[in-house]
């Protein structure tokens, strides 16, 4: 499983107080114009089907087995531009996305 986090995204994630007892959970859920969307939340409880898809120092990113299928090769970036600031998820598996970039299809 290869997930890349840019330096800027890593710094922003560290501001969210991740650590030994808190990690970022990424899920792929149905939604948006193109069919699927990313759901990201802080969590502290691992589930039986979870996989750690990224770990560097105190930063861990976890996903359930169903979501992992779509996350290999994912690049997480952060933009602080005025129009559309926030985390950006760039996937080589995405073949289509909606105009606002919030959802994708594989």
Per-residue pLDDT of 83-105, as tens digits, reads: 778 888 887 766 555 555 554 55
Neighbouring CB atoms inside 10 A of 12's CB total 19
pLDDT, residue 36, reads 79
3-state secondary structure 29-88: EEECCCEEEEEEEEECCCCCCEEEEEEECCEEEEEEHHHHHHHCCCEEEEECCCCCCEEE
Better-scored residue on pLDDT, 34 or 36: 36
The pLDDT value recorded for residue 29 is 83
Q: What is the pTM of this model?
A: 0.81
Ordered domains of the chain (ranges, CATH): 4-98 (2.60.300.12)
């Amino acid at each position: 499983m290869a997930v890349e986090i840019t330096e800027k995204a890593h710094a922003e994630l560290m501001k969210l107080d991740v650590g030994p007892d808190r990690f970022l959970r990424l899920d792929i859920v149905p939604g948006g114009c193109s069919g699927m969307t990313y759901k990201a939340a802080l969590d502290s409880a691992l589930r039986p089907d979870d996989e750690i898809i990224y770990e560097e120092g105190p930063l861990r990113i976890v996903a359930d087995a169903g979501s992992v299928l779509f996350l290999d090769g994912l690049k997480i970036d952060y933009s602080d531009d005025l129009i559309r600031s926030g985390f950006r998820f760039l996937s080589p598996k995405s073949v289509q996305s909606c105009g606002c970039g919030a959802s994708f299809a594989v």
